[in-house]
Amino acid sequence: MQKILVINGGKTFAHSGGRLNTTLTEWDGEFFTPENGFELKITQVGEENYDANEEVEKFVWADVVIYHFPIWWMYLPFSLKEYFDKVLTAGHRKGLYYSDGRKANNPERNYGTGGLMQGTRYLVTTTWNAPKTAFTLPEEFFQGRSVDDGVLFPFHRMNAFCGLEPLPSKHFHDVEKNGSPELTASFKVEYLEHLRGVFGK
């Protein structure tokens, strides 16, 4: 059985209901079943009732970590950032990372190589009000930078610090201004196809 940990970083706040990220998590429940060869654990970060040490144990347990979250003001929601601050700090020398990787005899080199999670992979999805063209057209807001090479660059480096290896990301656009049941239905088709491509089911 392949062990899957899903971190749902969606949160109800202001005009955001967090619904799409919860829906993505529900689709995970449909895909990552024992019949398909998976064991699934889910953390709902927005509920804020997690225990940091228990979350560390889940990361150590997992073969694959899947993150779902919206982008608020060009980065993670504050509740998810707090989750990472608490859980990754708790994971020091407990299976997530040993040190920052540098040695006293050469302190200028090898920063970020002290992770302990080599062999564990991660997949990230994000939800955006921004349309795809905001990333693909050089004259638009993100100047032609992709989600992964732009806004999510530090997120990917955070995972690399712990030794996790990336799987192909999936990003969902225009979910607020042009959101509709039809768009959500198309997202489900896209997401399950993405999972089948990644996991071969």
Mean pLDDT to the nearest integer, 79-88: 97
Across 132-154, average pLDDT: 96
Return all residues near 50 (Cβ < 8 A) that are at least 6 apart: 43, 83, 87
Q: 78-90 and 52-61 are packed helices; what angle lies between their axes, rounded to 10 degrees?
A: 80
Could you give the residue ranges of the DSSP H alpha helices within 49-170? 52-61, 78-90, 133-136, 153-161
Which pLDDT belongs to residue 18?
A: 66
Distance of alpha carbon 182 from alpha carbon 14, whole angstroms:
24
pLDDT value at position 167?
Answer: 98
Q: Residue 106 to residues 31, 99, 109: CA-CA distances in angstroms?
A: 47, 14, 6
Q: How far apart are CA 130 and CA 142, in angstroms?
A: 10
Per domain, the residue ranges of the chain are: 2-199
Confidence of residue 201 (pLDDT cuts 50, 70, 90): low
CATH of domain 2-199: 3.40.50.360
**Is-contact 65 29, C-beta < 8 A?**
no
**How far is it, in rounded angstroms, from Cα 26 to Cα 144?**
32
Mean pLDDT along residues 156-177: 96
- pLDDT tens by residue, 88-113: 999 999 999 999 999 999 999 999 99
pLDDT in tens, 3-33: 999 999 998 766 666 689 999 999 999 999 9
DSSP label at 97? B
pLDDT of the residue at 145: 95
pLDDT at 116: 97
